[in-house]
Amino acid sequence: MGLRIDNGKSQDCPNVITLDDRADLLRKMEQSFTDFSKTLQERRASQDLTKDEREMLDVVLSHLKRHGQYLWGHVLQIPDEAGGGFMIVDRTNNCLEGFFHLMKHGERRRSGRKVLTQDFEGLPAAAALALNLTHPDYVKLVCGSLDSLPSRFSDLDIARREAKLAKPKGSLVTSSLPLIVSAALPLPDRRLVRLDSFCDRIQAASQGQVSLPPKFIPNPSQHI
C-alpha cells in the first residue's frame, strides 16, 4: 500500500523490510540480470548455432536492451538539501492501482452504485488515509491506539480554532492548494457553465461589449 510507512522489520510487523534491504535486493536483481545478458551474448557469439537459434537470441537480446532498465524498481538518491538518503521507486504503479480498486470496492458496497463519478468527486482527498487505520503500526505511530484517536482529532481542532481566532478580523484568509487536482469541475460549477446565459456573458465579454446579457440565476434543479 503506497500510503503506508515502511519503518523496517519489527516484532509487530515481521513482513516489512527496511529500505536498505529493498535497495540491496534491487542491486542483486540488477546484477543477476547483467550476468544473464552476458551469458546470452556469449552464446550468440558462438558459431555452432542454427539460424533459428540466432534469430531467437537476437529477439531476446533486443528486448533486454530496450526494456532491461525498467524490469525492477529504482534507487534514487535524495539531495542533501532535501534531507539526504535515498528512496525506492516501484517498477509499476500496481500498488496504487490496487489501492484505488480497494477504495472503489468499498464505495460500491457503501452506496450500491456502479458508477462512482459523483461519489469520488465529493470524497475528500484525506479519505484515502483512513484505510491506514487498519494497520497497527500506522496507528501506533500516529496516535498510539484507536482509543486515543478522538483526543488527537480534538487537539487538531483546538489548534486550528486558536489559529483562526488569532488572526485579525478582516484579514485575508488564504488556503493551500488541494493535494489532488481533478480535471472535472465540481457539480455546481458544471451546472453554471452549461447555462446558455453564461455562454452569452462570456461571448459578450470576449467581444468587448459594454452591455451585458440579462442577469441570470442558476437553477439548482437543472439537470447535468
CA 164 to CA 113: how far, in whole Å?
A: 39
pTM score:
0.42
Instruction: Lowest mean pLDDT of 2-6, 77-81, 105-109, name the range.
Output: 2-6
Q: If 0-12 CB within 10 Å is exposed, 13-18 middle and 19+ buried, where does residue 113 land?
A: exposed
pLDDT value at residue 210:
47
Residue 49 has pLDDT above 60, yes or no: yes
Query: Length of the chain in residues, anyone?
Result: 224
Domain ranges of the chain: 19-91, 95-151, 185-218
pLDDT value at residue 60:
93
Instruction: Lowest mean pLDDT of 62-66, 78-82, 86-90, 171-175, name the range.
Output: 171-175
**Tell me: the pLDDT tens digits for 14-25?**
455 677 887 888
pLDDT value at residue 211:
52
